[in-house]
Structure 1
Amino acid sequence: MSERVHPAGDSPSTSGNRTQAPEKPVPPPGAYVIQVPKDQIYRYPPQEKSGRHQTGRKPRRNCCCRCLCWTIGLLLLLVILAAATVAILYLIFRPKIPEYSVESLSIKGFNFNFSSDQTSLTFSPEIDVSVRAENPNGKIGIYYEKGSSVSVFYSDLELCNGVLPVFYQGTKNVTVFRTALTGEGVLLTGALHGTLAAQQRKGEIPLELDLRVPVKVKFGAVKTWTITVKVRCGLTVNKLAEDSRIISKTCKVKVDV
Structure 2
Amino acid sequence: MAVGSGGGRVLQDDALRGARVPGTGVLARCRSAARAVLTSRRTLHLATGAVAAVLYSNFLIDLLVPGPHEWAQQVSVLETPGHRSALLLRTTDVLAALLELSQLPAVRAALPVSRWRGLVVGGAAAFALGGILAAAVTLPADPLAGTDGLLTASSALDPEALRRAAHDGTSILSVGGMVASAGAAWMLLRRRPRERPRWLGPVVTVVAAGCAVELGADLVVALRPQWQLLDGVSQRAQMLTLSAWVVGLGAIAARPPRAVES
TM-score (norm 2): 0.29
**Which structure has more helix as a fraction of its residues?**
2
Higher-RCO chain (CA-CA 8 Å, sequence separation at least 6): 2
**Which structure has more strand as a fraction of its residues?**
1
TM-score (norm 1): 0.29
